[in-house]
Amino acid sequence: MKKLTSLVALVLALTMVLCACNTTPAESTTDSTTTSTTTTEATTPTPTTTETTTAETTTEETTTEETTTVAPEPTVPELETKSLKVLAIGNSFSEDATAFLWDICDSAGMDEIIIANLYIGGCSLDTHWSNMQANAAAYDYQYNEWGSFNKSKKSIRWALEDEEWDIITIQQVSQNSGMTETFGNLQNILDYIKQYSKNPDAKIYWHMTWAYQQNSTHSGFANYGKDQMTMYNAILDAGKYVLENYEDIDGVIPSGTAVQNLRTSDFGDKVTRDGYHMSWSTGRYMTALTWFHTFTGYPVEYVEWYPTHSRAGISYAVNPDDLDVIRESVTNAVKDPFKVTTSQFALIVEPVKTTALTDADRKLLKDAGFNPDEYAVLDLEMHVQGYYNSSSASTLTTKDNSTAANVVNFNASRIFNRTDIPFGSVISVDAGYQYRPEAWTDLSAKTASRPANVSDALVVVDKDWWGSFSYRAFNLSAVTTKTMTADDNAHFRVYVPTVANPTIPESEKKPTTALVTSGDQKAADFEVLAKLGVVSSASDMTKYNVFDWKPTVASYYNSSSNSTRISAANSTATNIPNFISSDIFQKKDLPVGTIIIVDAGYQYRPEGWTKLDSKTSPRPDNVDANVVVVNEGWWGSYAYRAFNVSATATKTMTAADGAHFRIYVPKA
CA-wise closest residue to 409 among 362, 479, 341:
479
Amino acid at 637: S
Instruction: Please give the pLDDT value at position 31.
Output: 32
Average pLDDT over residues 220-234: 92
Q: Is the pLDDT of residue 303 over 50?
A: yes
Instruction: Please give the pLDDT value at position 532.
Output: 85
Q: Is the pLDDT of residue 451 over 60?
A: yes
Q: Is the pLDDT of residue 149 over 70?
A: yes
Cβ pair 606, 540 in contact under 8 A? no
What is d(CA 469, CA 60) in angstroms, rounded to the nearest whole number? 67
Question: Quick one: what percent of the chain has pLDDT higher than 70?
Answer: 86
Instruction: Please give the pLDDT value at position 665.
Output: 92
Instruction: Please give the pLDDT value at position 518.
Output: 63
Instruction: Please give the pLDDT value at position 517.
Output: 59
Max mean pLDDT among 322-326, 342-346, 459-463 falls in 322-326
225 Rama class: left (phi>0) / alpha (psi -120 to 50) / beta: left
Instruction: Please give the pLDDT value at position 514.
Output: 40
Comparison of pLDDT for 250 and 546, the residue scoring more = 250
Q: Other CB atoms closer than 10 Å to residue 151's CB: what's the count?
A: 12
Q: Which residues of 510-548 are buried (b: 16+ CB within 10 A; e: fewer)?
A: bbeeebebeeeebeebbeebbeeebbeebeebeebebbe
**pLDDT, tens digit (0-9, with 9 covering 90-100), for 515-534:** 555 667 888 888 889 888 88
For residue 369, what are the CA distances in angstroms to 113, 404, 426, 504?
69, 42, 12, 7
Amino acid at 556: Y
Average pLDDT over residues 238-261: 97
Instruction: Please give the pLDDT value at position 510.
Output: 52
Average pLDDT over residues 25-36: 34
Comparison of pLDDT for 302 and 47, the residue scoring more = 302
Q: Is the pLDDT of residue 56 over 80?
A: no
**pLDDT, tens digit (0-9, with 9 covering 90-100), for 349-359:** 578 899 999 99
Average pLDDT over residues 148-169: 96
What is d(CA 620, CA 605) in angstroms, rounded to the nearest whole number? 7
Q: Is the pLDDT of residue 509 over 70?
A: no
Instruction: Please give the pLDDT value at position 8.
Output: 42
Question: Quick one: what percent of the chain has pLDDT higher than 90?
Answer: 66
Q: 126: pLDDT confidence band, cut at 50, 70 and 90?
A: very high
Average pLDDT over residues 501-513: 64
Instruction: Please give the pLDDT value at position 156.
Output: 98
Instruction: Please give the pLDDT value at position 612.
Output: 78
Q: Is the pLDDT of residue 11 over 90?
A: no
User: How much is the mean pLDDT over the chain?
Assistant: 86
Average pLDDT over residues 635-648: 95
Cβ pair 165, 203 in contact under 8 A? no
Instruction: Please give the pLDDT value at position 390.
Output: 92
Among 41-55, 139-153, 466-480, 493-507, the range scoring the smallest mean pLDDT is 41-55
What is the CATH architecture of 83-335?
3-Layer(aba) Sandwich (3.40)
Instruction: Please give the pLDDT value at position 40.
Output: 31
Average pLDDT over residues 557-572: 87
Among 120-124, 290-294, 451-455, the range scoring the smallest mean pLDDT is 451-455
